[in-house]
Structure 1
């Protein structure tokens, strides 16, 4: 699952979305990539997840936005991976390319990654949040190119899952390098629009900018944007994307 709570401090609502997506079966590994998760909400989300099921939850967090140029009500926030599986090989990587807006807002875009094991198969998971704005297409291209270079240099040969808010639609030119390594398994359903309340979004200018990319060896049994009422969606700007994935046993 990938989800951008959009700096909204609703830990219980975020935990509900993750729990509904992952389910409570011990035989299913649950993984969520979160973007713009408030720093103070990270532990509350984990506590909420533990209170809603008997499963063990693990997380890694990378603070991106320190709020230096933001209004005082905007929280410090960042990328996270939340999972039912123990995490190994954790990495917190800033992008070299940042927009002037990012620098003005004291925000360092980047990605967090970690490895998990599912049925004996090692999988590397990434959660990222690229620079927004139509005028920053060149910055996003550089960020994606760095991500691909970093992946190609890693001493890891297992399948990968790349989750995030890319601030770009599937057909955007800067997204092309991702398709050379991965398949985009999310549905065609938009994940954002001019106004977000219920999911799927019902406002004007709908767009799909939240994506799940996976290695071609991973099988996909389903992908969807969950149906959420206005008061069930803990984000002001995004809807979650969920995919059911299968990996082969070693």
Structure 2
């Protein structure tokens, strides 16, 4: 704890560092954010490996101050740093739940006998309970799964799921994964599903999700995407919509896709109404 405190103090004195360790030259926020937006949720694939650091990622999140954030391709150590920087530099305090499905030295470093955890993570301004971490029976080319927690959004308790489906060109594997996910979603009258589905809205494997939930953008549906109306806004650098905030029993209010230089996936956040 003392070592972490000294390291954090040094960061405050020196300012944020660039990925290579050099000072970035940016000043810290003049006024730290003090409160989250209570009805805002966000999903973000952090991209691993990517040339980005936790300071920059924390600043991206703080700019929108969501109540709940679902992260994919997340190393537990990186998430710890992001959480610490959100509090130290932006006044935002989050609880963390980890949904690691891999212990991967190549992805997350660590000692050879104790590699870092890799998978999903959820940050929530409210405490989280009933955490469940599920690994899909078949992950495809890499183990995948979902993390489920109960927390508070818009002043009400809600089940939140965060997932990352199999990589592109593995449609059959994703179809099996969606069946597992949809079975859990169907158990709840009110649920938010965040994640990187690695599939466009009209992909056949996503059909079970569309039967149970709607996208945070009411105009985005499989039919609208297939017809080429452009209603589904892309969320990746290759201009595909792979990232979703699915809502079941919850009304969408607003949403935004925010481009970022710190991942190959954009940030997607949604304001919702649970009343």
Specify if TM > 0.5: yes
> Larger RCO: Structure 1 or Structure 2 (Cα < 8 Å, ≥ 6 residues apart)?
1
Match of 2:252 in 1: 220
Match of 1:48 in 2: 85
Change in 2 beyond 3 A, CA 1:164/1:56: same
What's the Cα RMSD here? Answer: 2.5
Distance 2:104 2:97 in 1: 20
Match of 1:25 in 2: none
Distance 2:120 2:148 in 1: 10
Which of 222, 240, 243 is residue 210 of structure 1 equivalent to? 243
Change in 2 beyond 3 A, CA 1:185/1:69: same
User: Where do residues 33-44 of structure 1 align in structure 2 (5 Å cutoff)?
Assistant: 33-44=70-81
TM-score (norm 1): 0.78
- Structure 1 unmatched ranges of 5 or more: 23-28, 103-107, 195-205
Does the Cα contact within 8 Å between 1:189 and 1:224 map onto a contact in 2? no
| Superposed displacement of residue 70, structure 1 | 7.0
- Structure 2 unmatched ranges of 5 or more: 1-41, 110-115, 221-231
List, as ranges, runs of 4+ consecutive aligned residues in structure 1 with deviation greater than 2 Å. Answer: 52-56, 64-72, 117-121
Match of 1:175 in 2: 206
The count of aligned residue pairs is 215
| Superposed displacement of residue 68, structure 1 | 6.8
Tell me the SS of whatever aligns to 1:238: coil
Change in 2 beyond 3 A, CA 1:98/1:226: closer
Deviation digits for residues 185-236 of structure 1 (CA, Å, limit 9, x no counterpart): 1472211134xxxxxxxxxxx2110111011x312121111244xxxx321x
TM-score (norm 2): 0.71
Distance 1:185 1:119 in 2: 15
Distance 2:237 2:259 in 1: 15
Query: Highest CA radius of gyration, 1 or 2?
Result: 2
